[in-house]
A and B are shown apart, each in its own frame.
Chain A
Amino acid sequence: QSALTQPASVSGSPGQSITLSCTGTSSDIGGYNYVCWYQQYPGKAPKLIIFDVSSRPSGVSDRFSGSKSGNTASLTISGLQAEDEADYYCSSYTSSSALYVFGPGTKVTVL
């Protein structure tokens, strides 16, 4: 069972904006600004798209943005495109001895 909670699926039409949520506790998301988001295509390794809550690695589209409020982090994908159809995982540093925890992932479907 994952330490973080994510919706199993989110869908949207091309051009729309969608927001994925990731809920934790004050020991992880709420306590630190070390939330990451990863995009994963079938059969491929996860790819970092957001780090430290809202920063984007070089080369990642600015259609991806991250934020946090309390114990919940969010990933917004604006101008949804067919290529955005993938699984998205959130992770956070945690004060528990596990150090890093992940969510179960959200499958994004482009209608």
Chain B
Amino acid sequence: QVQLQESGPGLVKPSQTLSLTCTVSGASISSGGYYWSWIRQYPGKGLEWIGYFYYSETSYYNPSLKSRVSISADTSKNAFSLRLSSVTAADTAVYYCAADISTSENAFDIWGQGTMVTVSS
């Protein structure tokens, strides 16, 4: 059974870099076939897809964040990470990692429990 677990600081100061890690169990992020994504949910509940990492060292980002975001993998820890630079209060959200494991490559059928990140001084 595949499980995802987010970790990282819950409070980030404005202009700093937000860094989160998603640890994967039950599947290997380097074995191919899955897209490992980050999705965030604003306090008003709207969802936004941030981007994904694919095992071939391919990453793809939402253009709305492209200049500030980076998603990479640490295969030794079977984890993938999100870095979002120059954060503002508008980046306050619950951040989820998610993946397409058993259904369609265009569906997020596995989600982490989410981690709340607040941007504030």
Contacts from A to B (Cβ < 8 Å):
2, 32, 34, 36, 38, 44-48, 51-52, 55, 57-58, 87, 89, 91, 93, 97-102, 104-105
> When chains A and B are docked, how far (Å) is the Cα of A98 from the Cα of B60?
9
Contacts from B to A (Cβ < 8 Å):
45-49, 60, 62-64, 96, 102-104, 106-109, 111-114
Q: Is there an interface contact between B107 and A51, defined as CB atoms closer than 8 Å?
A: yes
Seed contacts A2-B46, A46-B96; 7 additional CB < 8 Å A-B pairs:
A32-B106, A38-B108, A46-B47, A48-B107, A52-B107, A55-B104, A104-B46
Q: For A97, what are the chain B residues with a Cβ–Cβ distance below 8 Å?
A: 62-63
Choose among B46, B49, B103, B113 the residue that contacts A98 (Cβ–Cβ < 8 A): B49
> When chains A and B are docked, how far (Å) is the Cα of A91 from the Cα of B108?
10
Contact of A46 with B111 at beta-carbon distance under 8 Å, contacts A34-B106, A55-B103 already known:
yes
Contact of A98 with B45 at beta-carbon distance under 8 Å, contacts A45-B114, A48-B103, A52-B107 already known:
no
Contact of A98 with B63 at beta-carbon distance under 8 Å, contacts A45-B96, A47-B111 already known:
yes
